[in-house]
């Protein structure tokens, strides 16, 4: 069985940030699996500064997790 998340390890902080954003997107898809509903809701939150800030906070939390899993990329510094 292939998993969509085989590891939290990434080569660089930038790749780690990309993974954090993917984690946030996957969480939304799992929470609301109906793509049509997500598409209907998108214009609502796209114009809502508080919703956009909350989205950034979710990505930041995921990035902190990915960074910790990568020992904050200490080996690449």
What is the pLDDT at residue 74? 84
Q: What is the pLDDT of residues 22-68, one digit of tens each?
A: 999 999 999 999 999 999 999 999 999 999 999 999 999 999 999 99
What is the pLDDT at residue 76? 54
- CA-based nearest residue to 59, from 22, 5, 4: 22
Check whether 77 has a pLDDT greater than 70: no
Structure tokens at 17: 């940030």
Structure tokens at 73: 């990329």
């Amino acid at each position: 069985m292939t998993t969509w998340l085989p590891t939290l390890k990434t080569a660089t902080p930038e790749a780690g940030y990309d993974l954090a954003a993917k984690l946030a997107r996957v969480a939304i898809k799992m929470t609301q699996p109906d793509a049509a509903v997500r598409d209907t809701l998108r214009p609502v939150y796209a114009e809502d500064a508080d919703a956009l800030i909350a989205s950034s906070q979710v990505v930041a939390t995921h990035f902190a997790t990915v960074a910790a899993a990568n020992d904050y990329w200490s080996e690449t510094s």
